Amino acid sequence: MEPITAVIVGAGHRAMTYASYAKEHPEALKIVGVADPNPIRRKMVAEKYNLPPENCFSSAEELALRGKIADAVINGTMDKQHVPTSLPLLEAGYHMLLEKPFSTNEEEMWELVRAAKKYNRHVAICHVLRYAPFYAAIRKLVLDGEIGEIVNIQTTEHVSYHHLAVSFVRGKWNNKQACASSMLMAKCCHDLDLIMWMKSGIAPSKVASFGSLSQFKPEKAPQGAGKRCLVDCKVEQECLYSARKHYLDEPDRWGMYVWELLEDIENPTLEDKERSLKTDNPHGRCVYRCDNDVVDRQSVIIEFEDGCTITHNMIGGTARPSRSIHLIGTLGEIQGTLEDSKFVVRKIDPRPGCEYTEEVHDLNVTGDMHGAFGGHGGGDLRLIADFCQFLQGGTPSISSTTINDSIYGHLVGFRAEEARLEGKVLSIPKLESMLGEK
């Protein structure tokens, strides 16, 4: 079969990760264009994929006006740009792999859902954790009825101190007015999707939520803290959130975000990076004196139509990053942590002296967490592989999604944030009736 041709729209870290699949599997994917307002990034992509000048565009709108030059678009723009960039491209004829969350509010969500239906386009949302072997194996057991009917799910996400600081305190997702997404949607859209996936076929009915910004604000700053770590801070050497410790001692860990302002320098030195942190780089700011307003911890409670109850807890600033899940069914339970690449299946066993049986499933893919199949537990490149296979006419995997599969997860996220702000329990509308109305 011919490879799927694709245009990168928004040449940031996420889109470039998915596009990298073309290098290893040219028989499946070929990058034929790029649209990005940054000329440095356009040039980088053009050189990487040998693109002609006429296939390099400054915006999604410019690409759409050109007409259809590929099968699909890999849309990795920022959250609030997802819907505005997607609409003209769907109309122009492109199928789409779209980064999550696919919208930042309900009104835009329905607008994109309507457009995908109107133009008959396949829009897959980048719920990469569906493709992580850890979660795919658990879903398979649920589908096979191993633990019976699910009556409760408990999920947690521990966001490490350095991830929280780089993305949600100093970085692009730190301020809801600027990025348009809540912390819950920007970070835990994956988790909400996994919950909906595990309960697929049964609708959520109610949601409540609690949380706040409680740690990274001016009144919590230690005595002697300045505005910039490397300029006027008297306690920088002792601070766990020192920009020097996070970004100079570890210059590559979050380099795709921290050194964005240095893209015009081919090989920036540590001196260049230190100068950046001392001047205009937002990641050089004191974590207690930023313009962040998103929560640093949040709990969500969901009830489904069948009475199943769900809790999701997001805790920011932890020592170790981790995602865990605990499914409890009428016949048993499944419990595990993504980063350990293993989970336990326990079954009820009423025989004398038994109580329950326990079987450990060790997937042995911890080395693949950020390896051959990309990050997110090995889900990144498995997702793009499945997307290409689907467009080539292959059979969808159990992890495959259409945009409609992502609606409930987004609805719950939007209404959970509203519930948190208003101190209410909110209902979730029936998807069937909403699709009919829309």
Cα–Cα dist 105/107, whole Å: 6
Q: Is the pLDDT of residue 17 over 90?
A: yes
Note whether 6 and 70 are within 8 A (CB): yes
Mean pLDDT of 277-284: 97
Which among 153, 170, 200, 186 is positioned nearest to 300, based on CA atoms? 153
Mean pLDDT of 372-379: 61
pLDDT tens, 261-273? 998 898 999 999 9
Q: How far is CA 364 from CA 338, 339, 344, 345, 380, in A?
A: 11, 11, 14, 16, 18
Backbone angles phi, psi at 313, to 5 degrees: -120, 125
Token readout for 339 is 């980063």
Query: Taking the model in full, what pTM does it have?
Result: 0.93
**H or E element, residue 367:** none
Q: Is the pLDDT of residue 232 over 50?
A: yes
Which among 197, 136, 96, 132 is positioned nearest to 379, based on CA atoms? 132
pLDDT at 365: 67
Mean pLDDT of 367-377: 50
Mean pLDDT of all residues in the chain?
94
Q: CATH 3.30.360.10: which residues of the chain?
A: 129-212+294-375+401-437
Q: CATH 3.40.50.720: which residues of the chain?
A: 4-99
Q: Which residues contact 299 (CB under 8 A, 6 or more apart)?
A: 209, 210, 211, 311, 312, 313, 314
Q: Is the pLDDT of residue 303 over 90?
A: yes
pLDDT band of residue 430 (cuts 50, 70, 90) is: confident
Note whether 398 and 140 are within 8 A (CB): yes
Note whether 283 and 125 are within 8 A (CB): no
Token readout for 19 is 């596009």
- Which numeric CATH code is attached to 129-212+294-375+401-437? 3.30.360.10
**102-111 contacts: CB < 8 A, separation 24 or more?**
102/403, 102/406, 102/410, 103/410, 104/79, 104/80, 104/180, 104/181, 104/185, 105/180, 105/414, 106/410, 106/411, 106/414, 108/83, 109/83, 109/407, 109/410, 109/411, 109/414, 110/434, 110/438, 111/83, 111/87
CATH architecture of the domain formed by 4-99? 3-Layer(aba) Sandwich (3.40)
pLDDT tens, 327-361? 999 999 999 999 999 999 999 999 998 999 999 99
pLDDT at 364: 77
Q: In what order do the strands lie in the sheet with 204-212?
A: 355-362, 342-349, 332-337, 322-329, 150-160, 309-318, 297-304, 204-212, 426-427
Q: Is the pLDDT of residue 369 over 70?
A: no
pLDDT at 366: 53
pLDDT tens, 79-135? 999 999 999 999 999 999 999 999 999 999 999 999 999 999 999 999 999 999 999
Cα–Cα dist 342/134, whole Å: 7
Note whether 196 and 190 are within 8 A (CB): no
Token readout for 71 is 């099968």
Q: Per DSSP, which regions of 79-186 are E strands?
A: 95-98, 123-125, 150-160
pLDDT band of residue 367 (cuts 50, 70, 90) is: very low
DSSP state of 428: -
pLDDT tens, 25-79? 999 999 999 999 999 999 999 999 999 999 999 999 999 999 999 999 999 999 9
Cα–Cα dist 379/373, whole Å: 6
pLDDT tens, 144-201? 999 999 999 999 999 999 999 999 999 999 999 999 999 999 999 999 999 999 999 9
Cα–Cα dist 19/172, whole Å: 22
